[in-house]
Amino acid sequence: MYADYYHIRELPFRLTPDTAFFFPWSGALQAWTMLNIALDAGEGFLMVTGEPGMGKTLLCRKLLNELGKNYLTAYIPNPLLAPMDLYQALAGELSLPLEKGEGFQNLIERITKRLIELRHEGQQVVVIIDEAQSLPTESLEALRLMTNLETEKEKILQVVLLGQTELVRRLKGPGLSQMLQRITFSHVLNPMRVGDVERYVEHRMRVAGHQGAPLFHPRAVRSIARASKGVPRLVNILCHKAMMTAFGRGDSVVAPRHVRSAVKDSSGIGRWFPVPSLPVVAAGGVASMFGAGIAVLSWSLLH
């Protein structure tokens, strides 16, 4: 491949969610900050949504890797689970052995007992569900009922939902109004702006080991920003293909012509779209008492 040719240690634009390449562009940084502050405050239900390719799984992996030692995470990557299967998956994450033929009520009681034990040991359990828009309605309701578990002063179970924007539409539908009311903090991952894309490309190249002058011509990066509409996954696809094209032609710099070839070769990315300069807006009414804290922590994480 082109790694040796461009003197880099690894491919910088792979689609796998490698947290070493996490870049705190404005939308991702605000989501990350919101999750940290709200979890630390003991909030029960948190939600991050966005269109496909916006980096929700990468954010999920970063959360799993970097939560403090006082958190015990239960990760559920496949949410296509009936209520009983969901509870069994949670039991497995809590290291509870499954009992053959066990009834629903008995399983709930064992999970509740284990959650209380962990809280007394100073452990806060956080359930993280990726692709949460795929959760059946009955399982969403079962999850809501599980979060009723609390002491007089605090929740003993916190839930983070990461899903596509379809999740919001589902929660606004019939039968899930109580679930929607439980989500105290939420954030929508909006696309990157042109400046974000420029810094994103530079960041991933630097993490991959590139040194010296930028490999991507500025006009090439702007072309990638327009064609991808600021979606990180599409940025990665176009950058990877543009680098392959430049490598194949023996060029030392990725130019706009290489990007045009990458766009032409990419199904579904065949038009040039302007990247709107829209502000990133947190959805769902973040309480004002957290506004200053989020701003300060965002700045500190970024710098």
8 Å CB contact between 76 and 128: yes
Interval 130-146 mean pLDDT? 90
In degrees and rounded to multiples of 5, residue 20 shows phi and psi of -65, -25
User: How long, in residues, is the chain?
Assistant: 303
- DSSP secondary structure letters along 221-238: HHHHHHHHTT-HHHHHHH
Q: How many CB atoms lie within 10 A of CB 72?
A: 18
The predicted model gives 17-45 an average pLDDT of 93
Residue 286: is its pLDDT beyond 60?
Answer: no
Contact 263, 227 (CB under 8 A): yes
Residue 72, H or E segment: strand 71-76
CATH H-level superfamily of 26-190+278-298 = P-loop containing nucleotide triphosphate hydrolases (3.40.50.300)
What is the arithmetic mean of pLDDT over 42-68?
93
pLDDT band, residue 153 (cuts 50/70/90): low
**What is the average pLDDT score of the chain?**
86
- pLDDT for residue 216 is more than 60: yes
Q: pLDDT at residue 279 above 90? A: no
Reply yes or no on whether the pLDDT at 30 is more than 90. yes
**Cβ(47)–Cβ(6) below 8 Å:** no
Q: What is the pLDDT of residue 268?
A: 65
Return the SS3 of 50.
strand
In the block, which residue shows the tokens 């070493």? Answer: 20
pLDDT given at position 78: 83
Q: Check residue 301 and give its pLDDT.
A: 41
pLDDT tier, 280 (very low <50, low <70, confident <90, very high otherwise):
very low
* pLDDT attached to residue 290: 39
CATH architecture of 192-265: Orthogonal Bundle (1.10)
Which amino acid does the sequence have at 168? V
pLDDT mean over 68-72: 90
State the pLDDT at residue 152: 57
Decide: helix, strand or coil at residue 200. helix
- What is the CB neighbour count within 10 angstroms for residue 170? 20
Distances (CA, A) of 106 to 87, 103, 111, 127: 11, 5, 9, 20
What CA–CA distance (Å, rounded) separates 303 from 297?
10
- If you average pLDDT over residues 268-278, what whole number do you get? 45
Cα 36 versus chain centre, distance = 13
Checking if the pLDDT of 207 tops 90, the result is yes
String of DSSP letters for 1-43: --TTTTT-SS-TT-SS--GGG----HHHHHHHHHHHHHHHTT-
Lookup result for tokens 């990180």: 232
293 pLDDT band (50/70/90 cuts)?
very low
pTM over 0.85: no
Return the pLDDT at 151: 61
Q: Are 234 and 267 in contact (CB under 8 A)?
A: no
What are residue 128's DSSP bridge partners?
Answer: 75, 160
Is the model's pLDDT at 270 over the cut of 80?
A: no
pLDDT tens by residue, 256-269 = 999 999 999 887 67
CB 30 within 8 A of CB 186: no
Q: What residues does each domain of the chain span?
A: 26-190+278-298, 192-265
Determine the pLDDT at residue 291.
Answer: 45
Max mean pLDDT range (84-88, 131-135, 205-209): 205-209
